[in-house]
Structure 1
């Protein structure tokens, strides 16, 4: 036999008033149906919860233990509608965000601080991965929003650009090109040992480099997937690399940065991406806040 929320409320009222008449008045009902509610609750629980006499009402030991749980049940039940409303409005819940390592250098921290301020009841789970793996995770529904690099299949994903930045050459400290007062052209890099982005794991940056100059003209020494690894190799004197402007925030000693001539002033793009069929209000709210938070970045 199960009990009802009304029966639980009846027990709490009687326990707090220790008087059936006052408890009935508080619940805006008469005393006989209140007594029946308590009797049905005790039958469902299987033990007496109250002791009654003509002059007083007291809780049994079982009743005192049940009262603590009863108050929790009522608190949860009373709070449930508000929780449902905030989730429906995209104001609470859990959102899983994938991000590229390079986006964390300067952008991610301030953006998350702004989102936390705007959506204090939202829990954010962060997962670092390259864009390729983010798109796989979106497809498998293991993340909700990706912060990554284009391109994206519009039949599967919706996206919006949230950030742009310059392309820089990462050079070993003391490199001759670091003395240049004008931006570096790709022809200046023809005879340099190039640390290249992986065409599979870092396709976006690899495509940018090969569009700027055919791959056959690069002296390619290393291929890596992470910008942080690239910068570490530059610091070790292994070559030079094309990196997003945010890489300078890594603060790796032994590396200097110089702007590169590009057709667009800020060609490196970062997008918020989500499944096109995701209709959750929270997902749309997070995308909106990502756009809003990056307007000043």
Structure 2
């Protein structure tokens, strides 16, 4: 089946005017060419669309059904150039965001709200992945923007600090360290079983904890990569764990939180990360929208 938009426009005009002469005047053409357009359309469709008479033209049942789709096709065709321009300008289209599990606690919601309020016609696709996987996905053009932990290859990627926070200690409910009335010190942790970050899959947090705290590796009972897994293990009374303060928003029974002594102010960093060779027009206005989120 083949037909042109000119045929659809002619058909809709006749259907609405119920008269070939009036429809031709509306389209700034004479009646014979319009009649031929409609005849060709009927031939392509394989059905009679009008009952023609001396008083005008009325839609057949087939014509009534075809009118619904014809209007839809014309509306789509009229919107297509504007949508193409909006996509090219980054005001419409899609944005693929990778995020670490811990960024869900506050930062991701704020980012999605900022993008949604500013760019309502940009559809956001989310993928949870650790920083190393985000870097690989950016290199493969599988995501456009990451919420990731440093360090980064500054030749390949641009980044912007979006959030920082302190580390806190997660302990089982009723644990002595939760009721000290003061920040927990390294000496307090000397004989505590530790749930630690895996050095391969959670390198950022592993290096951060090792740098800030004198960890006794003999005390490490589990090494995992996801913060929510650490907290569940603490709830099971397997040990204590160092987690970003935003994790305290998780409502898990059987855990408590304690402040840590001696750490620098808000050492945990989260960055926006994107490729310097990105091709998605929506990324630039999205980054502008995210300017309102300050570390």
Q: TM-score, normalised by structure 2?
A: 0.89
Residue by residue over 1:179-202, the C-alpha shift from the partner in whole angstroms, topping out at 9 and shown as x without a partner, is 444433445433322111011111
- Encode CA deviations 1:23-69: one digit per residue, 9 max, x unaligned: 11211222233223223323433443333333321233332332221
Q: Which moved more, 1:214-223 or 1:249-258?
A: 214-223
Q: Does 1:102 align with 2:99?
A: no
In the TM superposition, what is the alpha-carbon distance from 1:217 to its structure 2 partner?
A: 5.2
**Deviation of 1:170 (Å):** 1.6
Partner of 1:21: 21
RMSD of aligned residue pairs (Cα, Å): 2.4
Q: Distance in 2 between matches of 1:128 and 1:291?
A: 22
Cross-structure match for 2:199:
199
Question: Hey, what's the Cα distance between the residues in 2 that align with 1:10 and 1:279?
Answer: 40
In structure 1, the residue matched to 2:249 is: 249
Shift in alpha-carbon separation, 1:278–1:139, aligned structure 2, 3 A: same
Q: List alignment gaps of at least 5 residues for structure 1.
A: none
Q: Which moved more, 1:228-237 or 1:159-168?
A: 228-237
Q: Does the 8 Å CA contact 1:166/1:259 hold for their aligned counterparts?
A: no
Structure 2: which 5+ runs fail to align? none
Higher alpha-carbon deviation: 10-19 or 79-88: 79-88
- SS for the counterpart of 1:2 is coil
Instruction: State how far apart, in whole Å, the 1-side matches of 2:289 and 2:277 are.
Output: 19
Q: Deviations over 1:146-204 (max 9, x none)?
A: 21211222233322111111111222334343344443344543332211101111111
For the residue of structure 2 that corresponds to 1:281, the secondary structure is coil
Matched ranges for 1:16-165 at <5 A: 16-165=16-165
- Structure 1, 3-12 or 212-221: larger mean CA deviation: 212-221
Task: Note the alpha carbon deviations across 1:65-114, whole angstroms, 9 max, x for none.
Answer: 32221111101011112212322222222222222111112332343234
Contact 2:161 2:272 in 1 (8 A): yes
Moved more, 17-26 or 282-291: 282-291
Find the aligned partners of 1:218 and 1:291 in 2 and give their Cα distance: 44
Deviation at 1:218, TM superposition (A): 5.8
Residues 237-246 or 35-44, more deviating: 35-44
